[in-house]
Structure 1
Amino acid sequence: MHIPYRARALVWSSCGGWGLEVDGCNNTQQQDCYNPLVRYSLQLPPEDTPPHPSREGEGLTLTVLNQRNAAVVFHKVFPLGQYWAHYADLQWHMDRVASGRVVVITVAVSGTVGLRQAAHQLAQLGSLFALHLTPMAHWTWVFVKGGRTISETVILRGVAQHHAHLLLPLSDLPSPTQSSNQSLQQQRWQYCQLHGAMGGLCDEHSPDPLPPPSPPTLAHQSALANVPVVVTAGARHQYLYHTLNTLLAAPGAQRSNVLVVLGDAPQPTTQLLRLINVNFTQVPVHGKDNFKLFRYYRSVFQLVARTFPDAPAVIFLDEDVEVSPDFFSFMSQTLWLLREDPTLYCINGFSISGYEGRAFKKSQLFRGSVQVQWGYAVALDFVREALASWEQATSNTMLYDFWLYMNIRKLRECVFPEVSRTRHFGIGINTIPYLKEAVIRMPLQIEAPIALQEVSVLKIQSWQKYISQEITEATVLTGNPCRDSFLPSPATARTYVFYYQLNILPGWGNTPNYFQYHVVVQCLGLWSLSEQGHHRGVSVVRFSLNSTLYLVGVPYSFYSNLQQPGNTPWNIDTLTDQQLDQMGRYSHNKYSKRDHITNINVTSDYIMQIMANG
């Protein structure tokens, strides 16, 4: 069938839903012709109009069309009626839409409150209104990525449904498939005719090389020789391609060691893996949401135990985790610790302490009580140990990594870097947008390879000696940690120590009091929503390139005996409710780093003035 070079399109947006319809009939054909190429919509019943709790399908819709035949190659709704984090996911996908694609953006019910920095990206792509949308605006924008706007409409206030009727230009340039005589390249462009937001894979002007070149080897390459890299994946092939791209480009990567384990295995994912020549297999999945994921990861562990019984360790990575170029160098220098030190159970590429403003030294390592996180290695003995209990576990609410931490870890610790070697960029069913904010800003080690500092000191006896010496030589800080003057500025000493009251939580074994721990570390910008991150009651705060603060929880900490005579630990339990409230506001204002909604007072007169002066 001949596809016309122009198609009629209808786009609409309102508080009751949104819609996109593309008709392949052109204006030279008869009026009764109707050839629906695209039909997408969400229409709420009249009684469901806002305000109501946000539901699936509401937000900012991103639909990408093949520029030659108007077929939908990507569609996703970003719940930007919520303020936190989803804007970064929109930016991530928009960056990976290839130039020349036709892009349709609309507001479905509510979707501009959380636009935030993504508004600047959209403005750079040509939007007139993105920087000026009110929180309840309704908006449609149709444009060619890297080209021109076809249509843009907006209603800043009110609840009226509005429609945009337009002629959609389609490209008559030949597809790269027609000009390629190489089988692999033909497969690439056939895949790209059907799938969008794939980044360099489908960039017709500067495509990623296929097959990808082999990365350089490492000085400690032999440490990785028999270590499988297991990537857990499903239906999110856009995420997976980026993850595998960074993984296989990292120095030290060995394609033959990489195995993608699929739960849900839709055709686009398996086609992608065949195209880029990455080994994959599938395990059965059952259930829904966390119950499904809990059983899926158990199946992955079972597969690893069967397939790699003699491996010295296994590296696990999720489909939405970007690795640093230094990832394999980091692993090659630290994996031996799992064999040498029974008080360790994992090597984490992700840094639980390396948030923005808390990561300075790329060669520094720590150890502490944390769960396995995004991009980690464990020994096969730990895999088998987990499976011995996992077979009987039926949790349908607990996340698998937290279950391992609570039930299998048994007071063992993990090694992690000061500057993270992985970044969790994706958003899934367990993403809490507010908590995702800190992860978005986390620095990732870019240089590679990095020679790590005194790795052998991470062994428990050496580490205890090292921490004891650091605390003994440190300058003591006192007073309320929730005040700007608490941390010395400029710092006059290399190390500082702060003693605070931290008791064992009654009835929870050796678990420290969550509340006492939470308040102190929150004041100083560390992870505070669980007691994870400390080493035997000592948390490390890096607050400048050359200064470190050790938080020692007394009497819980193994290092409590180092407290100088006459020094009384700071005690949160002695504060009044008013003082606690002031501390909460301090940490929220200092570390949540809200971005102001600068367009909240925009009026229609203001928009008309901008357009008149443009």
Structure 2
Amino acid sequence: MTYNLITDDPTLVPVNVSLDWSLPALANPNLPLEVTLEAGISYAAISANNVTLMKKSPNTTISRNYVVVESDAGLLVVTINQHTHLPTYQSLFITSDYLNDKELLNFLRSVKSGRIILVASYHDASIHLEKSSREILKSMGSWAVPFMNFRDCWAWAWVAGGPTLVEGFVPNMKLLQSLPQSLRITFGLTPSGDERFCPEWPLGELWDKRRVFCDMYDGYGSFCSCKDPFVLVETPKQTTWREDIAILILTATRGHYLYRLLSQVLEQPGVKKWQVLTAVDGENEEILRLLDCMGIHYVVHNPEGKKALGISRNLRFGLYAAVQHFNSIDKFIVLEDDLILTPDFYSFMQQTSVILEDEEEEVYAVSGYNHLAYTHTASNVTALRRVTSFPPCGWMTTRAVIKEILPKWLGPNVINDWDYWLMSELVRGNREVVLPEVPRTIHGGLSGSHFSGYLTQRRFSNKPSSTDPDTIVDVHGARREVYEKEILHLLHQAVPLNVTQPYDFPFPKDQGIYIVYILMKNIEDDVAFTIIGDALGTWNQDACENHFGLWHTSYYNTTLFIMGIPYSRYSRKIWARKYHVFTPTVELYNRKLDNFEDDEFKINGYHQNDYIKIMNLYDLAN
């Protein structure tokens, strides 16, 4: 199959979408809006005038320390426009999982002043609603949230930046012995008389569209700010600029993530709006309106699946659209909407783009990410690595590579992760990827197709990143001959470590060059590495970021190599049989698996003094 033949594929044809930019009508001042908040263990809902805006009932359960809880227990959140009485945001924050409370706070901070915010708890919202988050919610006006314990029922309505409208709280007094009664609150709203639009905003088509967008949707912070709205100020090209590089962004439904990424992309020195193309998986009007009023070109893909399959097919669609749209550009950066960029991201890609030109037979992509990079394993922002895996979080390739891989892309019936396919020898051949020791992208999504909040905290919360927009990377040191010569030089100096029990082994720190030999029969034999990675507190899911079976990291300022025996091609030059080869055991593998279990689940109950505080009965107690 040739590249030209895929032009007949109907799945690559963009969907035509027409947007209506008319302004929503004002609410009738003579018809108050009746709002109902229902919080409970088996059911929660937020309704307006008997229309259910959000509801939650049992889905799946999980066992945590022998206690059965709902897998998506948490807080239902709805915001309502005070002028139109229409909902502007609806979401469930699963605070029974890690980090969702931080996501909740990020959203609440970005809600436009004056909006009506409605919250109702479902099942148990207290498990990972951390103390620091409760303090912030308390500062916003909640009196009950500091007291929330296991399976309490809580509902709250307030004005963003203003007073509480109503709040209710039903404590679970007997923990597992019984369930608390559900909580139901009904109250009325009348249209607000405050200013509907920002008088400070200028006139113009994009600003008129922004007025409509910010009237319809919430959570966009600076984009909808009256006093300090986001305004694109194009910055000049840096001395590292070499050429125009197009930027393809993949998105579907996560508008807040997309705005965060777009604002960072457009603030990169040298980037212009015309260089950005967004592939939207589906006709999500909120996403399309955001792109339209930001003046960003987009193409809409008719979705071909969900999760891994949907992402893979949208990427295929986006790559094809990009090479058609940017017909005079040779290099393309691919970003997913949940990424956060460092200030030197685009500069990094400009500097390393020369490697794609000079080593087109040896290097087929540059990535801004590094799975092995943690605060204790990566510190040199100028250093580059060569790997034979494919880090997907922000990468660059050439038009020639895209034209090569598109005809053999995973079919619509293949449910697999596109990045694992791209790193397979079928696609990669014998080529490599260049990436930084210290990442230029951060995985900024709380959860997605592959991660829960718990795994996000474990795998992404301890990552370093570059902060200097003017960093110059060592491109010369990443050249194949120079890089491999230096690797061999270091390997000859490396002191072998006899590791049998990695979780108890005192890996050296602060100086020296060391190597651990591990059993690795082929590229798919990653068990030994994942155990060693887990013991080192680094990546431990698969064999990512190896260079023909060799891993290179800076463990607490030591140079540490991990070599797969007999798979690594370096083993034929370096390995001596007298050195110990770490071989995984069932016990060690199970210990690694145990580390992925969330064992921090706690049930908090009440004492008499707690009820005195909750009910403010200090005088009665005395």
TM-score band w.r.t. shorter chain: 0.7 to 0.9
Residues 330 and 399 of structure 2 are in contact (CA less than 8 Å); yes or no, is this contact kept in structure 1? yes
Aligned pairs for 1:114-193 within 5 A: 114-116=128-130, 118-157=133-172, 158-168=179-189, 171-177=192-198, 182-183=203-204, 184-193=206-215
Say if 2:242 is the partner of 1:239. Answer: no
The amino acid that maps onto 2:317 is S
Question: Partners in 2 of 1:355 and 1:47 — Cα distance?
Answer: 34
Question: Partners in 1 of 2:611 and 2:189 — Cα distance?
Answer: 26
Question: Partners in 2 of 1:388 and 1:49 — Cα distance?
Answer: 42
Say if 2:52 is the partner of 1:39. Answer: yes
Aligned pairs for 1:454-533 within 5 A: 454-480=474-500, 482-483=502-503, 486-489=506-509, 491=510, 493=511, 495-505=512-522, 511-533=523-545
Question: Partners in 2 of 1:200 and 1:424 — Cα distance?
Answer: 21
Say if 2:216 is the partner of 1:194. Answer: yes
Question: Partners in 2 of 1:325 and 1:46 — Cα distance?
Answer: 42
Residues 508 and 558 of structure 2 are in contact (CA less than 8 Å); yes or no, is this contact kept in structure 1? no
Q: 2:331 aligns with which of 308, 313, 322?
A: 313
Aligned pairs for 1:281-300 within 5 A: 281-300=299-318
Say if 2:234 is the partner of 1:219. Answer: no
| Cα gap change, 1:442 to 1:155, in 2 (>3 Å) | farther
| Cα gap change, 1:7 to 1:47, in 2 (>3 Å) | same
Residues 13 and 138 of structure 1 are in contact (CA less than 8 Å); yes or no, is this contact kept in structure 2? yes
Offset of residue 8 of structure 1 = 4.1
Say if 2:121 is the partner of 1:99. Answer: no
Question: Partners in 2 of 1:473 and 1:79 — Cα distance?
Answer: 50
Paired residues, what number? 576
Question: Partners in 1 of 2:139 and 2:93 — Cα distance?
Answer: 20
The amino acid that maps onto 1:39 is T
Worse-matched range after superposition: 558-567 or 441-450: 558-567
Q: 2:225 aligns with which of 189, 203, 219?
A: 203
Q: 2:436 aligns with which of 402, 417, 427?
A: 417
- The equivalent residue for 1:72 is 87
Offset of residue 333 of structure 1 = 0.7
| Cα gap change, 1:477 to 1:287, in 2 (>3 Å) | closer
Offset of residue 135 of structure 1 = 3.4
| Cα gap change, 1:61 to 1:309, in 2 (>3 Å) | same
| Cα gap change, 1:287 to 1:487, in 2 (>3 Å) | closer
Say if 2:74 is the partner of 1:59. Answer: yes
Question: Partners in 1 of 2:357 and 2:528 — Cα distance?
Answer: 35
Question: Partners in 2 of 1:47 and 1:316 — Cα distance?
Answer: 35
After TM superposition, the score normalised by the length of structure 1 is 0.84
Question: Partners in 2 of 1:84 and 1:47 — Cα distance?
Answer: 18
| Cα gap change, 1:291 to 1:61, in 2 (>3 Å) | same
Q: 2:269 aligns with which of 229, 251, 258?
A: 251
The amino acid that maps onto 2:554 is R
Q: CA RMSD in A?
A: 3.2
Offset of residue 524 of structure 1 = 0.8
Question: Partners in 2 of 1:376 and 1:48 — Cα distance?
Answer: 37
The amino acid that maps onto 2:606 is T
Q: 1:534 aligns with which of 546, 557, 561?
A: 546
Unaligned residue ranges in structure 2 (runs of 5+): 1-26, 173-178
Question: Partners in 2 of 1:123 and 1:47 — Cα distance?
Answer: 31
Aligned pairs for 1:585-600 within 5 A: 588=595, 596=600, 600=603
Give CA-to-partner distance per residue, 1:158-199, whole Å, 9 cap, x none.
241111233547542212356756134343222211100112
| Cα gap change, 1:188 to 1:305, in 2 (>3 Å) | closer
Residues 496 and 579 of structure 2 are in contact (CA less than 8 Å); yes or no, is this contact kept in structure 1? no
Question: Partners in 2 of 1:244 and 1:295 — Cα distance?
Answer: 22
| Cα gap change, 1:335 to 1:88, in 2 (>3 Å) | farther
| Cα gap change, 1:340 to 1:46, in 2 (>3 Å) | closer
- The equivalent residue for 1:111 is 125
Give CA-to-partner distance per residue, 1:88-109, whole Å, 9 cap, x none.
4334423322333221121123
Residues 308 and 415 of structure 2 are in contact (CA less than 8 Å); yes or no, is this contact kept in structure 1? yes
SS in 2 for 1:269: helix
Question: Partners in 2 of 1:187 and 1:400 — Cα distance?
Answer: 36
Q: 1:21 aligns with which of 11, 25, 47?
A: 47
Residues 277 and 322 of structure 2 are in contact (CA less than 8 Å); yes or no, is this contact kept in structure 1? no
Residues 84 and 191 of structure 2 are in contact (CA less than 8 Å); yes or no, is this contact kept in structure 1? yes
Aligned pairs for 1:562-581 within 5 A: 563=574, 565=576, 567-573=578-584, 577-578=586-587
The amino acid that maps onto 2:491 is I
Offset of residue 127 of structure 1 = 2.9
Give CA-to-partner distance per residue, 1:264-311, whole Å, 9 cap, x none.
133322222221111222333334444333322222222233334553
Offset of residue 465 of structure 1 = 0.7
| Cα gap change, 1:98 to 1:256, in 2 (>3 Å) | same
Worse-matched range after superposition: 110-119 or 229-238: 110-119
SS in 2 for 1:540: strand
The amino acid that maps onto 1:107 is S
| Cα gap change, 1:552 to 1:258, in 2 (>3 Å) | same
Offset of residue 375 of structure 1 = 1.2
| Cα gap change, 1:501 to 1:44, in 2 (>3 Å) | closer
Offset of residue 597 of structure 1 = 5.6
Question: Partners in 1 of 2:159 and 2:321 — Cα distance?
Answer: 45
Question: Partners in 2 of 1:147 and 1:63 — Cα distance?
Answer: 16
Question: Partners in 1 of 2:431 and 2:543 — Cα distance?
Answer: 14
Question: Partners in 1 of 2:421 and 2:587 — Cα distance?
Answer: 36
Offset of residue 565 of structure 1 = 4.9
The amino acid that maps onto 2:162 is G
Offset of residue 371 of structure 1 = 1.8
Question: Partners in 1 of 2:420 and 2:575 — Cα distance?
Answer: 36
Give CA-to-partner distance per residue, 1:228-274, whole Å, 9 cap, x none.
11112223222211110011011222222111122313332222222
Q: 1:324 aligns with which of 317, 324, 342?
A: 342
SS in 2 for 1:408: helix
Question: Partners in 1 of 2:62 and 2:379 — Cα distance?
Answer: 49
Residues 327 and 421 of structure 1 are in contact (CA less than 8 Å); yes or no, is this contact kept in structure 2? yes
Unaligned residue ranges in structure 1 (runs of 5+): 24-35, 506-510
Offset of residue 613 of structure 1 = 8.4
- The equivalent residue for 1:601 is 604
Question: Partners in 1 of 2:617 and 2:95 — Cα distance?
Answer: 30
Question: Partners in 1 of 2:301 and 2:248 — Cα distance?
Answer: 13
Residues 234 and 270 of structure 2 are in contact (CA less than 8 Å); yes or no, is this contact kept in structure 1? no
Offset of residue 7 of structure 1 = 4.7
Say if 2:368 is the partner of 1:357. Answer: no
| Cα gap change, 1:130 to 1:467, in 2 (>3 Å) | farther
Give CA-to-partner distance per residue, 1:388-416, whole Å, 9 cap, x none.
212x7344310222222224122432112
The amino acid that maps onto 1:215 is T
Question: Partners in 1 of 2:221 and 2:185 — Cα distance?
Answer: 29
Question: Partners in 1 of 2:607 and 2:59 — Cα distance?
Answer: 26
Question: Partners in 1 of 2:48 and 2:278 — Cα distance?
Answer: 37
| Cα gap change, 1:204 to 1:224, in 2 (>3 Å) | same
Say if 2:571 is the partner of 1:560. Answer: yes
Give CA-to-partner distance per residue, 1:489-543, whole Å, 9 cap, x none.
5x2x2x32223232324xxxxx152212211122112222111111122212322
Q: Among all aligned residue pairs of Structure 1 and Structure 2, give the percentage whose two residues are the same amino acid.
A: 20
Residues 481 and 520 of structure 1 are in contact (CA less than 8 Å); yes or no, is this contact kept in structure 2? no
| Cα gap change, 1:531 to 1:112, in 2 (>3 Å) | same
Residues 14 and 109 of structure 1 are in contact (CA less than 8 Å); yes or no, is this contact kept in structure 2? yes
